[in-house]
Chain A
Amino acid sequence: MKSHISIRDVNAFYNGHQALKNITVEIPQKKITAIIGPSGCGKSTLLKCFNRLIDLTDGASVSGKIIVDGIDILNGSIDVTAVRRKMGLLPQKPNPLPMSIYDNIAYGPRLHGKPDKNELDRIVEKYLKIAGLWDEVKDRLKSPASKLSIGQQQRLCLARGLAVEPEIILCDEPTSALDPVSSQHIEQGLLKLKNDYTIVIVTHNIHQAMRLADYVIHLYLGELVEHGPANDVFENPKEERTRAYINGTILTDLKIDKEVDLKGNPCPYNFVLAKQALHELSKGKVLKLVVDDPLAVTEVPRGMEADGNEVLSVKQINKTDWEIVIQKTE
């Protein structure tokens, strides 16, 4: 397996907080590599190092080497725009530019050369077709990109990224804001593209990683836990932490300080009871709730987060019951 991006001893800090710890790993060429791990484990930070978008984050600093095509892209003296051009980014939330559909695709090529009208028309059509959007928009290329549905916007972002002819496509949870059908469009698009591009996808959706990835990197709290071909990692993980994450039981090592059964309580009583239970705990303690009210499954975590507490997991444990784990941080 030929390596395309080689990451050597990369450390990243945000205002003194270490987000990545001594990461050394190779990302294979023309494969889909999934970076998995829970929220806040450094997945997105690693991705931002690849295209140096981390430079734009206040108080962030990176050390180590990331070598792409023989060049250390973390080196301060290289041309950042050339690095970024090599890497298309598909963001978490689609971010069309404030211009027409056509101009969104043409924006990149116009920056990097002076293509004439015919050339641009050809580029726009080609990449909209690759992204599977052409048939839906070919009659309204001049209309604003913001008028597209969110799923179409994400495919537009994919086409826009491809139009600058990158070698690598970086995806930062690209389907987390999309409905299932749009997500499927994006996933199929990525599978088609992997013959020509090196794709790195950050996801906290294990099933998505299983569907797409050829190679898997598991990060946990900024550390590299495990990496390897997808089959090996998913079917036979070497590390207990990877096994636990894949089985959705990453919290097994977390001590539950209190458990409250709220089954049979409708909203908002279950929320009030949960709040009371949390109130009795001291800061940093973990509360596990079991609810069976479908409304509570979304509303209780949302309310708890609004109060400043951290919701660690929400998981269905059987047909009717859900388990919500909350850490008191407020």
Chain B
Amino acid sequence: MDKLREEKLWKFLMIVSLAIVVGSLFMVISVIVWNGMPALSLSMITQTPKGGYYLGKEGGILNAIVGSLYLAFGSVILALIISLPAALALQKDYIGKTRLAYYIRLSLDVLWGTPSIVYGAFGFIIMLYFGMRASLLGGIIVLTILQLPIMIRSMEEVIKLVPNELKEASYTLGATRFETTSGVVVRQALPGILSAVILAFGRGIGDAASVLFTAGYTDSLPRSLFDPVASLPLAVFFQLGTPFPEVQQRAYASALILLIIVLALSIASRYLSRKFAKNIIR
């Protein structure tokens, strides 16, 4: 009887936790949709801000949408190029068991926990040193640094789960370490690697503090890597800061657009992940 009561208590606790998770997510989304839906229009996503936009006049936030996509995709691609080899090097077949790997992991964990404003300030100082002004390139680089620890550590975790027998199978066929890593390990870990990329993408596109100084903000579309560029989180921030209710509503609409982008990408990644998972060994 006691066991049964214990079981019931645990079940109750689990239901409460799940309710808190689902409930808070539902509340966030409904507030954004409720406030943002009325302001969402075609001009919102097809036009850049016209004169007086922040006073409630015409225009849209195409500048921020385009800017955020550039920043997020640019930084994710750059971070992926650096992270994948780094995560693979942290396998036990390479440097995984050394003291060096221990310190690399430790520093990545610290970086993961570092507030993004610190990255922004760091990027700003470096840019000042080189005489650069706020630009798309600056934003991409700082976001890349922000995403590296997330990507490398999550990739490393999934790469660690690749069964040893699979690697042994490849080695016994006469494959080298590199052939085994690229032909077997990456294949087996591909769905997990994709999840790591999406995790980093979400963090990158949603971050305001790190791009505040480094990418800047502008009402026009960027024409080169060296132009300043707007971003959705900052668009939300600036519009919410105005005293006009109609502009504040547009802030919610901007947040809604951000949400839709992240949702679309998550769904796409799930689809891709299932495709990649077809061959993996469970």
Contacts and interface: CB of A to CB of B under 8 A. Distances in A.
A82 interface: yes
Contacts of B279: 98-100, 144-146
B281 interface: yes
B175 A111 contact: yes
A157 B173 contact: no
Interface residues of A, number: 30
A82 B183 contact: no
A98 B174 contact: no
Interface centre among B166, B174, B184, B282 (most CB of A within 10 A): B174
Contact of B165 (A95, A111, A164): A95
Interface string B171-206: 111111001000110011000000000000000000
A129 B217 CA distance: 66
Interface stretch (A24-32, A85-93, A306-314): A85-93
Contacts of A112: 174
B173 A85 contact: yes
A93 B174 contact: no
Contacts of B184: 97-98
B179 A84 contact: no
B172 A56 contact: no
Contact of B168 (A56, A58, A88, A146): A56
B170 interface: yes
A161 interface: yes
Contact of B281 (A58, A111, A146, A164): A146
Contacts of B263: none
B97 to A, nearest CB: 8
Contact of A164 (B168, B173, B176): B173
Contacts of A157: 169
A85 B174 CA distance: 5
A107 interface: yes
A244 interface: no
Given A97-B184, A98-B184, A146 B282 contact: yes
Q: Which 7 A-B pairs have the closest CB atoms?
A: A85-B174, A95-B165, A89-B172, A108-B173, A98-B188, A81-B174, A95-B169
Nearest to A52: B171
A89 B168 CA distance: 10
Contact of B172 (A58, A84, A98, A100): A84
A98 B281 contact: yes
Contacts of B274: none
Contacts of A91: 165, 168-169
A111 B163 CA distance: 21
Nearest to A157: B169
Given A95-B163, A145-B279, 8 more contacts: A53-B171, A81-B176, A84-B172, A89-B168, A91-B165, A95-B166, A112-B174, A160-B173
A47 to B, nearest CB: 11
Contacts of A53: 168, 171-172
Contacts of B163: 95
B278 A144 contact: yes
B55 interface: no
B280 interface: yes
Interface of B: 93, 97, 163, 165-176, 179, 183-184, 187-188, 278-282
Contacts of A146: 279-282
B175 A97 contact: no
Given A97-B184, A146-B280, A107 B168 contact: no
Contacts of A85: 173-174
Nearest to A89: B172
Nearest to B179: A111
Between B93, B172, B176, the greatest number of chain A beta carbons within 10 A of the residue's beta carbon is seen for B172
A127 to B, nearest CB: 12
B153 to A, nearest CB: 23
25 contacts: A51-B172, A53-B172, A81-B176, A82-B174, A84-B171, A85-B174, A87-B172, A89-B168, A89-B172, A95-B163, A95-B166, A96-B281, A97-B170, A97-B184, A98-B187, A98-B279, A98-B281, A107-B170, A107-B173, A111-B179, A112-B174, A145-B281, A146-B279, A160-B173, A164-B173
A112 B175 CA distance: 8
Contacts of B278: 144
Contacts of A160: 169, 173
B177 to A, nearest CB: 10
A53 B97 CA distance: 18
Contacts of A108: 173-174
B173 A95 contact: no
A92 to B, nearest CB: 9
Given A144-B278, A146-B280, A146-B282, A99 B170 contact: no
Contact of A161 (B93, B166, B173, B280): B173
B278 to A, nearest CB: 6
B172 A88 contact: yes
B187 A99 contact: yes
Contacts of A145: 279, 281
Contacts of B166: 95, 97-98
A266 B275 CA distance: 50
